[in-house]
Chain A
Amino acid sequence: AQRVTQPEKLLSVFKGAPVELKCNYSYSGSPELFWYVQYSRQRLQLLLRHISRESIKGFTADLNKGETSFHLKKPFAQEEDSAMYYCALTLRIQGAQKLVFGQGTRLTINP
């Protein structure tokens, strides 16, 4: 079955420290993965997608098919990075998209 696992519900790091939010997936097909973020009192929004190989707000994520992982990383955390982060996997249904989300990780950056 298709599944996305984020093993850490809560993650707390100090400002300036590196941060890594873990995401593992289970999918028999070719995975297409996203990270979504929800800042306090804001709506959920796309942070980055693996196919773009981009860096957004200093965050990067590399798809590792051998380890079935898509961990989100940032070398130097900032206080404004505090938010809820969701990893998501795309399923292809009838040629269209459906997302399966992980349980989410609440990241807190301490000053």
Chain B
Amino acid sequence: KQEVTQIPAALSVPEGENLVLNCSFTDSAIYNLQWFRQDPGKGLTSLLLIQSSQREQTSGRLNASLDKSSGRSTLYIAASQPGDSATYLCAAGNNAGNMLTFGGGTRLMVKP
């Protein structure tokens, strides 16, 4: 059974810092890895989707990488802003039904 872990569970940084969020998964037979953002009490916003054949994806200040062999993905946020404060979730996509297994999330606080 796939297990997804995110470290750290919480992170507080001053505005402007570059930061890295980590995601690890136990079953490397994934089809994709998706990163989401969730604001308190809200739904999930898809940030980046990395297919199993890809190494990384970029969108604006966000860059996500995937290393299937080591069971790891990282989300890099450049020049962080207070508006980036949210919980960031990674999810591994496995075989049947496009099922997503989520990590516990990293709660990010960017201080002005």
Whether A and B are associated in the same complex: the answer reads no
Residues on A facing B (Cβ under 8 Å): none
